[in-house]
């Protein structure tokens, strides 16, 4: 291999990042293996300015014969991989028939259940006067850069096929902020239900996917304190009640109060966020573990940590506010006082909205995201639906808070649009509903067909088609077999399997008399009606069935 490098100059920030990127390029595109080779040589010989945090120049020199041998070995290895890939077109290769890792198809049953739940959620959004918008599934990569901290590594990038560098959206909040800034919208109340993408380690058993629905409700605009915030809490409560998925509680807290607690306990302001991220783990870990992390990993003092511990284990209602407002340590912190005043007002508004028994002022609530600036909230389902003294939650099913500075990040003049919003954890809600149905061995209807048009004997296809036409013309949901001469039993079985309540049955003898039979699938009762009164008879019968027991729908 006639290959050698005398000198090479690189501009690098993190050698480690390079390695990952170029290894990926190697696997993907056979034509650029040479860069991988070179790069691996550079990293292996440790000549790169590895881990340097300042972008700059570093020099490296590869000349020894040992390095030449190394190069040849690498090239040989790569050529071997290339050969094993084969030189045929990719299109003719065999591959496993599957959806991409961490994604799934939604079957008609799953979709019926999802659509049923989403309809209820949307009804609540509409009751509160929300509009809806939509944004592209991908954004310019820069729009997402610097918004998700460490999680940025989970962003899906699109291949550069010439043109702009794009990434799939990671949530619906950043696209909303971009939308508001770009279109100079200073006030909106909108919901947005769409899929988002995270290249996380999928866990099917825990219901964590790489493609999943988010369902957000946000109120943007400059308003008076806590009025839209309280409505967000009301929206969450209405949604969870309408879905009927068990007892829940909405925990409330305030970022300013948390800051104030840290301040009062002697934590330096530079450590507020990292302390916050430890507190955030209290819903999954006991205080002892969190305490250990704060002291050993975050470097907080034992004294400060134990003081914080006394606060963050508190929860209650307005009586707790009053107690904390007179707390000696907290009364010295402006941030704590502001947070407490804000929560006090929120609890007061929530009380007017009839939410007092659904909410809990909980000082352990911290929320992971950096961008929250005010109130934060999170709804959790209570275990087996029973209210317990000890909160034994089965997990967060909605969460949100106030973020007043995000939109400004997109505005060239840093013009702020204050926002508060909530994201409904619809994927978890879907799982809960699915589990509930499974436990009751209930079936979901996937269609809304009201009438099946069946024939008892052969050669009735065209008659069936005429009946279907009449039913469709009358806006009745109807179907028939696509077979010319289906078996009677098969047709009735189809009705039972699919929860179709009614069948119009055509038979030789009835047709001669100008009659058809109307069959109630559940009771198997049949009545004869004249062909020209069929539509009205079907309507009457459907109304009767509807009045007696409400028609099975997508959810029950």
Among positions 222-261, residues that touch its own copies (CB under 8 A) are 223-224, 227-228, 230-231, 234, 238
- Cα-flanking dihedrals φ and ψ of residue 305, to 5°? -60, -45
Looking only at residues 158 through 187 of this chain, which bind its own copies when binding is defined by CB under 8 A?
A: 158-166, 168, 178-179, 181-183
Is 299 a binding residue for its own copies by CB under 8 A? The answer is: no
Nearest to 41 by CA among 14, 69, 11: 69
Q: Which residue has the tokens 């964590």?
A: 208
| Pairing of the two strands 375-382 and 393-403 | antiparallel
Stretch touching its own copies by CB under 8 A, among 195-203, 269-277, 515-523, 531-539: 195-203
Q: Which 397-426 residues touch its own copies, going by CB under 8 A? A: 410, 412
549 is an interface residue for its own copies by CB under 8 A: no
Looking at residues 132 to 151 of the shown chain, list those that interact with its own copies (rule: CB under 8 A): 132-143, 145-147
Our CB check for its own copies shows the closer of 294 and 531 to be 531
Provide the token pair at 370.
Answer: 């950096």
d(CA 226, CA 314): 22
What's the 3-state SS for 304-333?
HHHHHHHHHCCEECHHHHHHHHCCCCHHHC
Contacts of 29 by beta carbon, 8 Å cutoff, 6+ apart: none
Q: Which stretch, 220-228, 268-276, 286-294, 544-552, contacts its own copies (CB under 8 A)?
A: 220-228
For residue 241, give the nearest of 437, 402, 385 by alpha carbon.
Answer: 385
DSSP 146: T
Does residue 547 belong to the site contacting its own copies (CB under 8 A)? Answer: no
Pick the closer one to its own copies by CB: 447 or 536.
447
Residue 284 interacts with its own copies (CB under 8 A)? no
* 476 touching its own copies, by CB under 8 A: yes
Q: Which of residues 18-57 bind its own copies (CB under 8 A)?
A: 18, 20-21, 23-25, 27-35, 55
Query: Between residue 478 and residue 497, which ones bind its own copies under the rule CB under 8 A?
Result: 478-479, 482-484
Stretch that binds its own copies, among 278-286, 307-315, 447-455, 526-534 (CB under 8 A): 447-455
Q: Is 126 in the site for its own copies (CB under 8 A)?
A: yes
From 442, 211, 230, select the one nearest 342 (Cα to Cα): 230
Contact with its own copies (CB under 8 A) among 8, 244, 269, 357: 8
Written as six digits, the tokens of 188 are 């909106």
Closest to its own copies by CB, 141 vs 329, is 141
Q: Is 349 in the site for its own copies (CB under 8 A)?
A: yes
Strand partners, 249: 380
Task: Please report which residue ranges of 265-411 form alpha helices under DSSP H.
Answer: 272-279, 287-292, 302-312, 318-325, 334-352
* 127 lines the binding site for its own copies (CB under 8 A): yes
Q: How many residues bind its own copies (CB under 8 A)?
A: 138
Length of the chain as a residue count: 556
């Amino acid at each position: 291999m006639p290959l050698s490098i005398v000198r090479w100059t690189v501009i690098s920030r993190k050698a480690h990042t390079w390695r990952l990127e170029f290894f990926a390029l190697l696997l993907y595109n056979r034509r650029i293996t040479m860069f991988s080779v070179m790069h691996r040589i550079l990293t292996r010989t440790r000549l790169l300015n590895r881990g340097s945090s300042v972008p700059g120049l570093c020099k490296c020199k590869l000349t020894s014969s040992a390095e030449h041998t190394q190069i040849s070995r690498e090239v040989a290895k790569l050529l071997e991989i290339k050969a094993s890939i084969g030189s045929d077109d990719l299109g003719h290769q065999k591959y496993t028939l599957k959806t991409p890792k961490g994604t799934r198809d939604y079957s008609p049953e799953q979709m019926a259940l999802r659509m049923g739940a989403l309809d209820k959620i949307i009804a609540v959004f509409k009751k509160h006067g929300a509009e809806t918008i939509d944004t592209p599934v991908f954004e310019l990569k820069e729009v997402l850069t610097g918004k998700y901290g460490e999680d940025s590594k989970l962003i899906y990038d699109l291949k550069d096929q010439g043109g702009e560098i794009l990434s799939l959206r990671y949530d619906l909040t950043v696209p909303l902020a971009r939308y508001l800034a770009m279109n100079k919208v200073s006030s909106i109340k909108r919901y947005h239900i769409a899929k988002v993408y995270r290249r996380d380690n999928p866990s099917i058993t825990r219901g964590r996917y790489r493609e999943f629905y988010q369902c957000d409700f946000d109120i943007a605009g400059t308003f008076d304190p806590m009025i839209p915030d309280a409505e967000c809490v009301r929206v969450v409560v209405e949604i969870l009640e309408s879905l009927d998925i068990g007892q829940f509680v909405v925990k409330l807290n305030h970022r300013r109060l948390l800051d104030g607690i840290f301040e009062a306990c002697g934590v330096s302001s530079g450590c507020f966020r990292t302390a916050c991220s430890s507190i955030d783990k209290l819903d999954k870990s006991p205080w002892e573990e969190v305490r250990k992390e704060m002291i050993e990993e975050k470097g907080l003092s034992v004294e400060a940590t134990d003081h914080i511990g006394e606060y963050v284990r508190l929860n209650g209602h307005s009586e707790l506010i009053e107690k904390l407002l007179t707390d000696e340590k907290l009364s010295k912190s402006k941030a704590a006082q502001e947070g407490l005043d804000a929560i006090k007002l929120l609890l007061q508004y929530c009380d007017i909205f009839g939410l007092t028994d659904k909410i809990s002022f909980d000082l352990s609530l911290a929320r992971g995201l950096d961008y929250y600036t005010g109130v934060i909230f999170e709804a959790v389902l209570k275990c087996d639906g029973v209210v317990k003294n000890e909160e034994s939650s089965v997990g967060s099913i909605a969460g949100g808070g106030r973020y007043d500075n995000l939109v400004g990040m997109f505005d060239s003049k840093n013009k702020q649009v204050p926002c508060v919003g909530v994201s409904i954890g619809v994927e978890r809600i879907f799982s809960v509903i699915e589990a509930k149905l499974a436990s009751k061995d209930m079936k979901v209807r996937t269609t809304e067909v009201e009438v099946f048009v069946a024939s008892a004997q052969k050669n009735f296809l065209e008659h069936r088609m005429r009946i279907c036409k009449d039913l469709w013309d009358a806006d009745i949901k109807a179907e028939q077999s696509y077979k010319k001469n289906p078996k009677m039993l098969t047709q009735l079985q189809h009705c039972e399997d699919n929860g179709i309540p009614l069948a119009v049955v055509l038979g030789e003898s009835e047709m001669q008399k100008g009659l058809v039979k109307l069959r109630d699938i559940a009771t198997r009762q049949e009545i004869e009606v004249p062909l020209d009164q069929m539509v009205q008879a079907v309507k009457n019968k459907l109304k009767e069935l509807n009045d007696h027991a409400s028609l099975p729908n997508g959810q029950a």
